Amino acid sequence: MSVAGATDSLSTRLGALFANDPEAIADPYPLFNQLRETSSVYELGPMTLLTRHAEVRDACRETERLSSQTFLGSRADDALSRMNEEQRDAYRIVSDFEAKYVSRSDGEDHARRRRVMQRAFVPRRMAELRFRVQTITNALLDEIGAGEVADLGGFAWRLPLMVVGELLELSPADIDLIHGWSSAIGRNRRGVDPEALMGALDAIAEFRVYLDEALERQRRSPRESMLVGELFGAQEGDRLTREELTAMFVILVFAGHETTTGLIANGLVELLRRPAEWKKLVQRPDTAPAAVEELLRFVSPVQWTWRVAVADYECGGTVVPAGTTVAMMNAAANRDPRVFERPDELDLTRGDATQHVAFGLGPHFCIGNALARLEGEIAFRTLAERYPQMELSEQPLQWRGNAMLRQLASVPVRLGTAAPAAPAA
């Protein structure tokens, strides 16, 4: 095949991935390897993809020439040009609301919102949450029991969502409702599919009403020891508007569980596909923190993140013009052989895993990384302790949702003989 033909084939397959084709989502890593070795900076339609660790690392830290306001830029312009009037209105409504997310802001707005959001993840609160994460983990696995076949997909999303729900004082009875809204928002996730966009519009509208009512109840009877009371206090001190506070709750709920769901579900599948690695964790459950770092590298729960060039940006010897939408391909960077030895091998004992960019870097480094690591550590350690004989069932895996987040429809396993539950420490 000619170089031009190979590039055309690569672009076609990348186009299928960005269009959320389930077959492309199922195993994108050979595609990412080809992409990374073809070029460190790759043009794909209205977007530019950064594919190698060095370029992704530098872009994560760039705040002057790259903006997080990704509802603007070449990709948005291209999508809007193909939408009807109703869809363009929906895009603007969703974008106006998401512009208030800490992850979609720049400069002083970003710094102010981040200062407030960091109150959710201070070390004291993480230490207090350890007991609750373990208690919730034990309870969810108790419900599953020791049956021969089980679906751990529900465990993968319920654990982080129940934890963030407790953090924000939301009713446990509403977990399924919240998960539905979050899934609809996630299917859009800066996407351009009109159906997903309209679903996100409806979900955000319903979610906002729900959170506004919850915030009002909590405002009338605040508990200063709880996070919500602190956020209300910050509403005045850091000039956080009510709309910003609602947006903060949305992103805390969404980001607080969607990425950890991917870590637990996808990470468990990859471990069980490699019995020798699963056996390492079973024999040494105390190595779960290191296992989480390697799984973050290997599965990259957020496959890529978006930026928009607000000025010409030189990267990898290429100038990315102002106005261009940039995709920082975390999943490709996390398997870059220039940084990681044997990058396509899952190795829980590797020494270079912590160089991953799964949480980004720089000013937008994931605020909730400590909570995600804690939940992953407790989930994998507890699963290894309780189900040492666990293996994947023969049921085919099905992928869904937005390719950026790679969601499994289910995690079918054979549990084997269960060990007694460990007490919450």
Rounded Cα distance between 218 and 287, Å, is 40
**Long-range contacts from 166-173, C-beta under 8 angstroms, 24+ separation:** 166/132, 166/136, 167/120, 167/125, 167/129, 167/227, 167/252, 167/256, 168/214, 168/227, 168/228, 168/249, 168/252, 168/253, 169/214, 169/218, 169/226, 169/227, 169/228, 170/214, 170/253
Q: Is residue 70 part of a domain?
A: yes
Rounded Cα distance between 361 and 307, Å, is 13
Print the domain residue range for 331.
3-414
Q: Which of 300, 289, 292 is nearest to 271 (CA)?
A: 292
Q: Is residue 424 part of a domain?
A: no
Number of compact structural domains in the chain: 1
Q: Which of 306, 297, 305 is nearest to 266 (CA)?
A: 297
Q: Say what the pLDDT of residue 423 is.
A: 62
Q: Say what the pLDDT of residue 1 is.
A: 38
Q: Say what the pLDDT of residue 13 is.
A: 96
Mean pLDDT confidence for 93-103: 88
Q: What is the pTM for the complete model shown?
A: 0.92
Q: What percent of the chain has pLDDT over 70?
A: 91
Non-local (6+) Cβ contacts of 237 within 8 A are none
Rounded Cα distance between 41 and 362, Å, is 20
When mean pLDDT is compared across 25-34, 78-87, 357-366, the lowest value belongs to: 78-87
105: CATH:
1.10.630.10
Q: Looking at residue 19, what DSSP letter applies?
A: T
55 touches 40 (CB < 8 A):
yes
122 touches 222 (CB < 8 A):
no
- The phi and psi torsions of 228 (rounded to 5 degrees) equal -60, -40
Q: Is residue 421 part of a domain?
A: no
Q: Is residue 77 part of a domain?
A: yes
Binning pLDDT at 50, 70 and 90, where does residue 284 land? Answer: very high
Tokens 């919240």 correspond to what residue?
A: 178
Read off the pLDDT of residues 240-273 as tens digits, 9 standing for 90 and up.
Answer: 787 888 888 888 888 888 899 999 999 999 999 9
Q: Is residue 178 part of a domain?
A: yes
Binning pLDDT at 50, 70 and 90, where does residue 2 land? Answer: very low
- Rounded to 5°, angle at Cα 157 from 98 and 32: 70
Q: Say what the pLDDT of residue 233 is.
A: 61
Q: Which of 81, 82, 73 is nearest to 308 (CA)?
A: 73
Rounded Cα distance between 67 and 106, Å, is 7
**Mean pLDDT rounded to a whole number for the chain:** 89
Question: Would you say residue 334 has pLDDT above 70?
Answer: yes
Mean pLDDT confidence for 337-349: 97
